RNA sequence: GGCUCGUUGGUCAAGCGGUUAAGACGUCGCCCUCUCACGGCGAAAACAGCGGUUCGAUUCCGCUACGAGCUGCCA
């Protein structure tokens, strides 16, 4: 049998990495077996609907490559299934009535006031009450009369107070709950819309979903869904509940975490492939120790039996590392295309940006890191002459001054400012003096960059800077060291 | 509060009765090197606790602790 999964988000805002991972796993589970992956928008809560949220979902899935296989025709492609559209067909009410006829559900006319009189318990600021099945006792005539009178109603699932219900999760095994723990949940709301609890079962069945994959938070309501399947006489799907993704405090990811949504991560300079790769490994691991996977490779390797049961902390430090791996592996042209805007943010001068990009490629983890690496090209920063002193290079202010003075005329005389030529020239000086490379390179690099660390060596920097600017900076260094020595 | 689920280094994780308990990120050290980074090598660092079952438990069972989720006319 062909596997069919679905991603069923509610359009209430940005797409969390948790949501994205759910979509990814659903996609991978289907594709690994050559199955189909569907998209279904769960917008039955009109109050929480956020304008533009569906666009975000579409954009994200498209960008990450999680394209769905089926849906209503739309602009030459597939649109998602949309629950609010399906409501218009009367499908949910039809199935609700079927349950009512079977005695598995019933009309409830209780208003807010009556509901408020139910025995409630306050735990941690939340009111907890269990519906008392009051309307289950209504006679057929009373129900008909209420309906005829246009009295607002909801439809509730009728769950017995005795016995227990069991469902099977592929990862967690059999989970059994006493029926007394299960509230008579609302299936159809008074506005005529189904609740998620009902729509999800009806849709998954009518869409022939074979594997229901969703977050852990649904595990405790799954027995209720199982009762629905049983009541209808439908075969239940394979359930796969996914462990949570938490923040560094082991709390559910919140918007405030700042790095919790896919779009936020893109803004922070992460590349799509790295994000997808990273979240794939948050709750799943392959048989070998491999960590770098393209989407196609994930499809090939993904075995849902290896999904973990315990929650995973979203570690942005490791994501940064992985992003860096992607940048290093990227071909230069692609890298340059993406890096250029970031370089141009700090460098306005007419310099060889490609050379700069190349210097930085193996040194950054995310694009915004570029700025701190290249700012000195634009302008020589103020620096302390203490920077000339380096224990390992055996340099200090005096030796540096000497080196710079010695080397200046040579560099002034030289016209070839290519990295190679400069390096050869300086090497000659190193040999003459019988010192270590660093002994002369360190002060020069310090003078031309004004920085402790640079993305390239002295000669490479000079190559990019050009003769005029390089000489200027070296003179500046001599000046600084001279005036300090004079004191 | 009740119910359900979870618990291997700081983090992601392998392990599915017998192992010196992998690997990765991060941290630290060394090497390479015209600085830093890359790369290479190495180090520190874990089975929540207590009881069973067993010749033998990280692995199976129970209890406790801790964490999380649910307990909505939200999904």
The answer to whether A415 and A396 are in contact (CB under 8 A) is no
The answer to whether A466 and A417 are in contact (CB under 8 A) is yes
Query: Mean pLDDT across the stretch A137-144?
Result: 94
pLDDT attached to residue A259: 55
| Amino acid A6 CA to nucleotide B16 C1' distance, rounded Å | 30
pLDDT attached to residue A254: 64
Measured CA to C1', the nucleotide nearest A249 is B67
Q: Is the dihedral of CA A212, A209, A299, A167 positive or negative?
A: positive
Measured CA to C1', the nucleotide nearest A9 is B75
The set of strand B positions with any atom below 7 Å of a protein CB reads 1-8, 10-15, 22-26, 33-39, 67-75
Q: What percent of chain A has pLDDT over 70?
A: 98
| Amino acid A242 CA to nucleotide B37 C1' distance, rounded Å | 38
**What are the tens digits of pLDDT across the range A149-204?**
999 999 999 999 999 999 999 999 999 999 999 999 999 999 999 999 999 999 99
Name the protein residue, with chain letter, whose CA is nearest the C1' of B71: A128
| Amino acid A191 CA to nucleotide B73 C1' distance, rounded Å | 8
The answer to whether A393 and A438 are in contact (CB under 8 A) is yes
pLDDT attached to residue A258: 55
**What are the tens digits of pLDDT across the range A236-265?**
999 999 999 998 888 877 655 555 799 999
| Amino acid A160 CA to nucleotide B62 C1' distance, rounded Å | 30
Measured CA to C1', the nucleotide nearest A373 is B36
Measured CA to C1', the nucleotide nearest A8 is B75
pLDDT band at A5 (very low <50, low <70, confident <90, very high): very high
Residue partners of A215: CB distance under 8 A and separation at least 6:
A18, A22, A241, A242, A244
**What are the tens digits of pLDDT across the range A338-392?**
999 999 999 999 999 999 999 999 999 999 999 999 999 999 999 999 999 998 8
Measured CA to C1', the nucleotide nearest A318 is B25
Name the protein residue, with chain letter, whose CA is nearest the C1' of B7: A310
Nearest one of A15, A22, A12 to A44, comparing CA atoms: A12
Q: Which of A27-41, A92-106, A212-226, A246-260 has the lowest mean pLDDT?
A: A246-260
Name the protein residue, with chain letter, whose CA is nearest the C1' of B69: A217
| Amino acid A148 CA to nucleotide B38 C1' distance, rounded Å | 77
Which of A247 and A403 is assigned the larger pLDDT? A403
Q: What percent of chain A has pLDDT over 90?
A: 86
Query: Is pLDDT above 80 for A424?
Result: yes
Query: Is pLDDT above 70 for A59?
Result: yes
pLDDT attached to residue A112: 86
pLDDT band at A206 (very low <50, low <70, confident <90, very high): very high
| Amino acid A111 CA to nucleotide B43 C1' distance, rounded Å | 68
The answer to whether A217 and A243 are in contact (CB under 8 A) is no
**3-state SS of chain A?**
CCCEEEECCCCCCCCEHHHHHHHHHHHHHHHHCCCEEEEEECCCCCCCCCCCHHHHHHHHHHHHCCCCCECCEECCEECCEEHHHHHCCCHHHHHHHHHHHHCCEEEECCCHHHHHCCCEEEECCEEEECCCCHHHHCCHHHHHHHHHCCCCCEEEECCCCCCEEEEEECCCEEEEEEHHHCCCCEEECCCCCECHHHHHHHHHHHCCCCEEEEEHHHCCCHHHHHHHHHHHCCCCCEEEEECCEECCCCCECCHHHCCCEHHHHHHCCCCHHHHHHHHHCCCECCCCCCCCCCHHHHHHHCCHHHECCCCEECCHHHHHHHHHHHHHHCCHHHHHHHHHHHHHHHCCCCCCHHHHHHHHCCCCCCHHHHHHHHHHHHCCCCCCHHHHCECCCCECHHHHHHHHHHHHHHHHHCCCCCHHHHHHHHHHHHHHHCCCHHHHHHHHHHHHHCCCCCCCCHHHHHHHHCHHHHHHHHHHHHHHHHHHHHC
Which of A487 and A431 is assigned the larger pLDDT? A431
Which of A435 and A129 is assigned the larger pLDDT? A435
Average model confidence (pLDDT) across chain A: 94
pLDDT band at A79 (very low <50, low <70, confident <90, very high): confident
| ipTM for the assembly | 0.95
Query: Mean pLDDT across the stretch A284-294?
Result: 95
Query: Is pLDDT above 90 for A117?
Result: no
pLDDT band at A487 (very low <50, low <70, confident <90, very high): confident
**What are the tens digits of pLDDT across the range A317-343?**
999 999 999 999 999 999 999 999 999
Q: Is A255 a catalytic residue?
A: yes
pLDDT attached to residue A143: 95
**What are the tens digits of pLDDT across the range A358-372?**
999 999 999 999 999
pLDDT attached to residue A77: 79
Measured CA to C1', the nucleotide nearest A109 is B73
Given A94, A255, A309, A349, the catalytic residue: A255
pLDDT attached to residue A256: 57
| Amino acid A189 CA to nucleotide B55 C1' distance, rounded Å | 62
């Amino acid at each position: 049998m062909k596997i069919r999964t679905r991603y069923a988000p509610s359009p209430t805002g940005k797409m969390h990495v948790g949501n994205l991972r759910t979509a990814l796993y659903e996609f991978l589970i289907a594709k690994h077996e050559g199955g189909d992956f569907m998209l279904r928008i769960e917008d039955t809560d009109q109050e929480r609907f956020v304008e533009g949220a569906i666009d975000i979902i579409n954009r994200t899935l498209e960008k990450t490559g999680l394209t769905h296989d089926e849906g209503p025709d739309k602009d030459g492609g597939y649109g998602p299934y949309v629950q609010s559209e399906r409501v218009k067909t009367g499908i949910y009410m039809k199935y609700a009535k079927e349950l009512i006829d079977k005695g598995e559900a019933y009309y409830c006319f209780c208003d807010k006031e009556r509901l408020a009189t139910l025995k409630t318990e306050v735990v941690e600021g939340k009111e907890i009450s269990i519906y008392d099945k009051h309307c289950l006792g209504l006679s057929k005539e009373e129900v008909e009369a209420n309906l005829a009178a246009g009295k607002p109603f909801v439809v509730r699932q009728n769950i017995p107070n005795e016995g227990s219900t069991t469902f099977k999760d592929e990862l967690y095994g059999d989970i059994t709950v006493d029926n007394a723990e299960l509230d008579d949940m609302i299936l159809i709301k008074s506005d005529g819309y189904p609740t998620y609890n009902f729509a999800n079962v009806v849709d998954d069945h009518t869409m022939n979903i074979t594997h229901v994959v969703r977050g852990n938070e649904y595990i405790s309501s799954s027995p209720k869904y199982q009762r629905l399947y049983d009541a209808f006489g439908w075969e239940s799907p394979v359930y796969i509940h996914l462990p949570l993704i938490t923040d560094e405090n082991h709390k559910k990811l919140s918007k405030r975490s700042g790095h919790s949504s896919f779009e936020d991560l893109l803004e922070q300079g992460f590349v799509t492939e790295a994000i997808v790769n990273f979240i794939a490994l948050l709750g799943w691991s392959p048989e070998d120790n491999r960590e770098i996977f393209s989407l196609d490779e994930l499809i090939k390797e993904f075995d849902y039996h290896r999904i973990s049961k315990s929650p995973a902390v979203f570690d942005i430090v490791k994501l940064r590392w992985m992003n860096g791996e992607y940048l290093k592996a990227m071909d230069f042209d692609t890298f340059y295309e993406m890096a250029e805007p970031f370089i141009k943010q700090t460098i306005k001068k007419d310099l060889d940006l490609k050379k700069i990009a190349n210097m930085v490629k193996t040194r950054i983890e995310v694009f915004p890191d570029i700025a701190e690496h290249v700012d000195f090209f634009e302008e020589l920063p103020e620096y302390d002459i203490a920077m000339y002193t380096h224990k390992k290079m055996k340099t200090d202010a005096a030796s540096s001054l000497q080196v710079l003075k010695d080397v200046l005329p040579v560099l002034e005389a030289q016209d070839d400012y290519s990295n190679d030529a400069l390096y050869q020239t300086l090497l000659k000086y190193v040999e003459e003096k019988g010192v270590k490379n660093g002994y002369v390179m360190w002060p020069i690099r310090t003078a031309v960059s004004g920085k402790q660390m640079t993305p390239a060596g002295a000669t490479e920097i000079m190559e990019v800077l050009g003769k005029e600017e390089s000489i200027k900076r070296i003179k500046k260094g001599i000046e600084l060291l001279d005036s300090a020595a004079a004191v």
